[in-house]
A and B are shown apart, each in its own frame.
Chain A
Amino acid sequence: EAQVTQNPRYLITVTGKKLTVTCSQNMNHEYMSWYRQDPGLGLRQIYYSMNVEVTDKGDVPEGYKVSRKEKRNFPLILESPSPNQTSLYFCASSLVRGGGTGELFFGEGSRLTVL
């Protein structure tokens, strides 16, 4: 089954404790992206990656890091989480070449609370 898998789905942590949210897709997509969803603000892009070892900042990258060492994985790293990073996070992927239509495939989301 084609899917984007995120872990953990729920996490409560404390300020300053490093954490990683993993994302994996099995569709051989080149493009992967992280969004955060906050009430009244919709989805805002944090980082994206066009392919292995190619990453770039989105609209709200401060406080986050990413890496793309393998095509299928795109982890989101919070080196020193703060309460304003409490949010619902989504990983998404899509094709770039060979039939891409702009459709993004989303994971189920990871709800993060930073105390």
Chain B
Amino acid sequence: GNSVTQMEGPVTLSEEAFLTINCTYTATGYPSLFWYVQYPGEGLQLLLKATKADDKGSNKGFEATYRKETTSFHLEKGSVQVSDSAVYFCALAAGGTSYGKLTFGQGTILTVHP
């Protein structure tokens, strides 16, 4: 079956530090890949996505590249802010799926200190 594995957390950084959160997946075919973010007390919201190999998703300074050869979709940001403190989830949708039946990773808690 499909699965998503994220790096162990929590991650604690100082403001303006570089962020990487690793995500690898197992899936048949060619899944679509997503990063969702959950701010304290809120539901999840889509941060970025990529639907085919070598695509780069980007939003709010965050980026992730769909790497089929390493089955990875690592999240990066060059300079984090305190407001980026949240839980980040990597997720996949099975190939050919246009709707939201997603498989999620376990989430990574990010805390950014001033």
Contacts and interface: CB of A to CB of B under 8 A. Distances in A.
A4 B51 CA distance: 25
Interface stretch (A13-21, A69-77, A78-86, A102-110): A102-110
A31 B99 CA distance: 7
A-B pairs with the 10 shortest C-beta distances? A94-B100, A106-B43, A104-B100, A42-B106, A100-B98, A102-B93, A43-B104, A96-B99, A31-B99, A106-B44
16 contacts: A4-B43, A31-B99, A33-B101, A37-B107, A42-B6, A42-B105, A43-B107, A90-B43, A92-B100, A96-B98, A100-B98, A101-B49, A102-B49, A103-B100, A104-B36, A107-B43
Interface string A41-65: 1111100101000000000000000
A109 B87 CA distance: 14
Interface residues of B, number: 24
Interface of B: 6, 32, 34, 36, 41-46, 49, 51, 89, 93, 97-102, 104-107
B100 A31 contact: yes
B97 to A, nearest CB: 6
A95 interface: yes
Given A41-B106, A42-B89, A48 B43 contact: no
Contacts of B6: 42
Given A92-B100, A94-B100, A103 B46 contact: yes
Given A4-B43, A102-B49, 13 more contacts: A31-B100, A37-B107, A42-B106, A42-B107, A43-B89, A43-B107, A95-B99, A100-B99, A101-B98, A102-B32, A104-B36, A104-B102, A106-B45
